Structures are given as structure tokens and as C-alpha cells.
Amino acid sequence: MNDPRYSQLAELLVKYSTHIKKAERVLLDMSETPDEFTIELIRAVREAGGFPYVILRRSRISREMLRGTSKEHAEVIRDTELFQMKKMQAYIAVRGAANVYESSDVAPSDVKLFSKVLRPASDYRVRKTKWCVLRWPSPSMAQSAGMSTEAFEEFYFRVCTMNYPKMAKAMVPLQRRMAKANKVRLVSPGTDLRFSIKGIGAIMCKGDFNIPDGEVFSCPVKESVEGVIQFNAPSVYAGTRFEKVRLVFKQGKVVEATGSDTKRLNEILDTDPGARYVGEFSLGFNPYILNPMGDILFDEKIAGSLHFTPGQAYDLADNGNRSAVHWDMVLIQRPEWGGGEVWFDDKLIRKNGKFVPKDLLALNPENLR
């Protein structure tokens, strides 16, 4: 007998996140996901009147494909994936992994080359299709979260099937405030950062692109970032775990970067010129996600958190920065993490992880659960 949570999540992805309609072609990109859930997704797409197409991936195979890749090799993969994406109206990716560090020993040069060459396929998917991406729970993720496998699965499905329409309604005032704002100031232990988001706009993330979800994002004016930010959540990027990352900015550019692996950190930031500028600023508020687990799709939505992102800007909130890198780094501002403040145009928006203005109180955890 299938787990009833599978059909609940599949229905959410198909009916709410991507709004599949009759005759739409849907690519299901499944990595180390149980066949039972893939089948539930296929059935949900068919029930909505769509046509499902499936790719099955394995992280060990993907690692081997990355090792020793070449420009010619990556270009054929790009052309194949781009051709396929152009046949689709929607894309749902479910990404599991038995080992989140599977690609940790792939040469940085191979990762860099592959990322750059495949960017057009990724950009087409983001710009031209309805899409949603989520992780699949695994013992590896449970270990990263410091939880038993069973407890983590219960947490996962509670987070991923929460009342996203309720959250969507509550975030509208924050989106309006962020869209109108000019000056932003972030203050926390080791952090004092100022920048402008004037004219960039703000986007609500309410379960339509990622599951789990719960953030509103904008983007700094490219050369406006000044000051220092000290992140307090660990971050896994390109198979490497980083802790205590500290970035110093002048005229929008990272001029100093240190952390638990300073050499590798700077290698990534030197991928291309855009990697040392910022492509996203976001406030996270999912009420069920409280602590980092080394998976960015969860960590960037932590209640009372923000993330600041070296690299590529999104078209939806664009400052013109372009890079093969998009690295969401997370700062948690709840009291047990040191506290902190977020200011828009000299008005206090959030203090110690709790929204302060009356119109934003519905976004605080006690009101979203």
C-alpha cells in the first residue's frame, strides 16, 4: 500500500505548484526517488489531463559524468536537455541523494565548465516553463538535520504539505513593502550591511517554484552593497561544506571572503566576474523550518532568516548580474542564533526573527502554523 502522503504531495505539486492543464507536457526529473512516488506524480499529471515524461537519475552516475567532462561533452548534454525542455510546458524535479557530498571530489574546474555550458538549458526551464523543484527525504538528509530517519520524514511531509495558500495571502504586505523600499540595512553579530533595492521589485515564493517554500526576495542594486555580513548557518555548495562564511563588500563587490575553507570559498567566488557581486536578497519565514540542515531548499526558508546570494540574479528581480554561480548563504536572526534586525528605509521591519509592523504579523511562526 502506498504512503498516503505521497499522493497528497503529488497533488500539491501538480494542482497548486504548477497548475497542470489539459494536454500540457510535463517533464518529471526524478533523482533517487522511490518508484512509488514517481508513479503517484505520473498519475496526478494524467488526472489533470497532462502528458507525463520521466527522467531517472542517480547521483553516483551524475558524479561520474562530471568527472573529466569536456566542453564538447557538456555541449552535447546541453543541446539534448535544451531540445527536450523546448518540448515541455512544465517541469517538476524531485532530487534525492543517498550522499549529499557525492560530488565533493569532482574537480572544481569540471564543475565550473559544466555549470557554464549547461546554463542555457537551465535558463530556458526557468524562463519558459512552469516549474517546481524539491528534495526527497533520505537518511543522509536526516543525518544533516540531526534527526532520526522516521522523525525527519514526518518533518519533511509536514513542511512540504503545509497550508501554502494561507502563507501566500500573509506574504502580500511584505512583497508590497519590499517592492517600494529603497535602502536596506541588516544588523547582526558581526554584520552591518547596507544596500539599495530601489526599482528591483519583489517576488513572493509561495510553493509555486520550490517545495518547501516561504520567502520574499528582491535583489540589491549591483554596486550598492557596502559593509560586512557574517553568516551563521552552514552551507553546502558544489559538494563542499562551508561554515562561518564572512564577506566584506565595497561598491557591491566581495573584496574579502573567509570561512572554514577560505581557499575553496574564493575559488568559487572567482568562477567569473559576476560571482563576487550579489544576485538575490531574501527574507525567509517557513514556520516549520527552524534549524539548518545543509540543504539550501530548506535552509533558505528558515523562520527568522535571510539569505544573501553571490552570483546570478533572477530575471524576475534583476540587477543585471550574470554568473554561473548562485550561492544562497543564510543568516538566522532569531535570539538563539544571536538575534538581529532588518530595516527598510530606516523603519524596523523584523527584530530577532519576528516581523514588527502590524501588517506583517501574520508572517510570524505562531500565526502561520
CB 318 within 8 A of CB 295: no
* pLDDT at residue 262 in the model: 97
Could you tell me how far CA 308 lies from the centroid of its own chain?
11
- Which domains are present in the chain? 4-160 (3.40.1830.10), 164-368 (no CATH)
pLDDT at 25: 98
Under the banding of pLDDT at 50, 70 and 90, the label for residue 295 is confident
* 344-367 as b/e: b if 16+ CB within 10 A: beeeebbbbbbbeeeebebbbbee
- Going by C-alpha positions, the residue among 239, 361, 212, 364 that lies closest to residue 301 is 212
Q: pLDDT confidence of 1, banded at 50, 70, 90?
A: low
- Mean per-residue pLDDT for 173-198? 98
Nearest to residue 145, comparing CAs of 133, 155, 158, 135?
Answer: 155
Tally of residues, the chain: 369
**Span 216-238, mean pLDDT?**
96
Provide the 3-class DSSP secondary structure of residue 231.
Answer: coil
pTM over 0.85? The answer is no
Tell me the sheet residues that pair with 95.
31, 135
Q: Residue 339: which region, alpha, beta or left (left: phi > 0; alpha: psi -120 to 50)? A: left
For residue 147, CA distances in Å to 140, 154, 292, 347 come to 10, 11, 12, 38
pLDDT, mean of residues 154-158: 93
Mean pLDDT of the chain: 95
Q: Give the H or E element holding residue 364.
A: none
How confident is the model at residue 68, as a pLDDT?
Answer: 84
DSSP state of 13: I
